[in-house]
Homo-oligomer: A and B are copies of this chain.
């Protein structure tokens, strides 16, 4: 059984304040923890797991189902919870392709966008102020370990966009047809808030506004789905 203090420390990582103070975050479930342990072994600080998953693994603290439920930050705890040190973010490379997120609020959307970036080989994401926290447990879960492969920069990132000279593609509902837009090997894709879209001062910096042609009745697409569709057409 875990001591009350250990339980309290782990539980505190469900909150951004404590993640920021400690530089740690939570990762949960067999698949995600195994992959992070593989990708960034020195950053995985503690692993707590039930015997079913822990069997034969060095350095895992065995706990029971009751304790897993106590320390998990998810609705459906699943065998293993790891305490992991955050990645070191760096400024994006100037010669690559970057996704810039303006106030993406939903942690699941943010995580899914990180996974999409990883699939398409986009190595850099920049988050504006007002984005969900990259290390929110739901974000981490949705990334499926892509959080350890994509560089995600969010330090004073509102100014970052203003200083870029690469072509900026903005996802909007009133732009040119994405399907006939020229392909881009480098540049910045700008994705806006789920209900408010892209803020005007960022939109004003855009080189091209691109739109996914609509054939039916829905008013809009989910932000992460739109990101995936745009990248699949824009990248060469």
Contacts and interface: CB of A to CB of B under 8 A. Distances in A.
Interface of A: 108, 112, 115-123, 142, 144, 146, 149, 179, 212, 214-222, 224-226, 228-229, 232-233, 235
Contacts of A219: 144
Contacts of A232: 179, 212, 229, 232-233
Contacts of A118: 216-218
A216 B119 CA distance: 5
Nearest to A232: B229
Contact of A235 (B122, B149, B215): B215
Contacts of A220: 119, 144
A233 B221 CA distance: 16
A98 to B, nearest CB: 14
Contacts of A235: 215
Q: Determine how many copies of this chain the complex contains.
A: 2
Nearest to A143: B218
Contacts of A216: 117-123, 149
B119 A214 contact: yes
Contacts of A146: 217-218
Given A108-B108, A115-B221, A120 B215 contact: yes
Contact of A115 (B123, B218, B228): B218
A30 B115 CA distance: 31
15 contacts: A116-B218, A116-B221, A116-B222, A118-B216, A119-B215, A119-B217, A119-B220, A121-B217, A142-B222, A144-B220, A146-B218, A149-B217, A225-B225, A228-B229, A232-B232
A233 B118 CA distance: 20
Nearest to A230: B232
A179 B179 CA distance: 12
Contacts of A222: 112, 115-116, 142, 224
Contacts of A228: 221, 225-226, 228-229
Nearest to A233: B232
A119 B149 contact: no
